[in-house]
Amino acid sequence: MRRTTLLLAVTLGMLSLTAAPAFAAFTICNKSSQAVRAAIGRFDGTNWTSEGWWAIQAQTCAPLLTGPLQGRFYYVYASDGAAGTWEGKTFFCVAPDKRFRAVGRRDCAKRGFDRRGFFEVDTGKKPDWTQSLSN
């Protein structure tokens, strides 16, 4: 009995060492009927940064950030290029038509960026978050 218990404990210990690591991310699920372009903004403790664009097809999900989330608040802007825009009152810099990363939220036009209002997402400091966009 003692040998069986020891063998079971060793086996369970080895399985826990080989288990796949948990996947964490900030994910957007596009539940609308159109493809969208999305951007994310955040504060890393030193700098405000915005980045985008991620193309997210209708009825699919895509991670914008991978790894455990570090902050509580993140900011999202998304548009389908027609009638659907998800925006808010926290402004960040964005590039109009190309992939971008903008450090800082001021002087967007002077730096060649447009200015857009992002909506706030309170993750409650969870290590991962999924945000849905719908019509």
Q: Are residues 101 and 52 in contact, defined by beta-carbon separation less than 8 angstroms? A: no
Please compute Rg for the chain using Cα positions: 20
Q: What angle do CA 98, 100, 103 make, to 5 degrees?
A: 155
Q: Is residue 17 very low, low, confident or very high in pLDDT (cuts 50, 70, 90)?
A: very low
pLDDT at 13 over 70: no
State the pLDDT at residue 112: 95
pLDDT at 6 over 70: no
State the pLDDT at residue 79: 95
> pTM of the full predicted structure?
0.81
Other beta carbons within 10 Å of 124: 8
CA distance 125 to 118: 19
Higher pLDDT, 14 or 94: 94
112, two tokens: 């060649």
Share of the chain above pLDDT 90, in %: 74
- Please give the CATH number for the structural domain made up of 21-133: 2.60.40
Question: For 20-36, what is each residue's pLDDT tens digit?
Answer: 345 689 999 999 999 99
Locate the domains of the chain by residue range.
21-133
- In one-letter notation, the amino acid at residue 25 is A
State the pLDDT at residue 62: 95
